[in-house]
Amino acid sequence: MKLTQFVRGWVNYFPLADMKGLLRESDEWLRHKIRTIYWKQWKKVKAKFRELKKLGVEEEKAWICANMRNGNWHCGGYFVLQTAFNNKKLRELGYPTFTELYLKVCEN
């Protein structure tokens, strides 16, 4: 809810500025951060494997990804997590994007 309020406030404060590129970069960083947070919450390999399977990842890819030992930020950028937490899924979870709100404000 706070993220939604922040995004709406930011977009409504700067509606006249041409900042579509900046917002797109911010969206990419924000999605990466959200994936990293979810990855960090799933502390154990079994939890990571189980949650990835719930998100629709194939069993073999989920097992390989769950056993990765890289840092959380690095794992948040993996293709498997990017496809599991795509824009549609993040929208369903309630995470807004700067670009969509900006386009709604600027169209009117």
Task: Say if residues 3 and 95 touch (Cβ distance below 8 Å).
Answer: yes
Q: Which is nearest to 90 in space by CA: 40, 51, 45, 38?
A: 38
Is position 105 within any domain?
Answer: no
Domain that holds residue 66: 18-95
Instruction: Say what the pTM is.
Output: 0.75
Q: Which segments in the chain show pLDDT lower than 50?
A: none
Residue 18 pLDDT: 67
Which pLDDT tens digit goes with each residue over 39-67?
A: 999 999 999 999 999 988 999 999 998 99
The reported pLDDT for the residue numbered 107 is: 65
Residue 6 falls inside a structural domain: no
Q: Does some domain include residue 103?
A: no
Q: Is residue 52 part of a domain?
A: yes
Structural domain includes residue 82: yes
The rounded distance, in Å, linking the Cα atoms of 39 and 34 is 9
In the chain, the number of structural domains is 1
pLDDT of residue 12: 75
Identify whether 56 is part of a domain: yes
**Whole-number pLDDT of residue 21:** 78
Q: Is residue 86 part of a domain?
A: yes
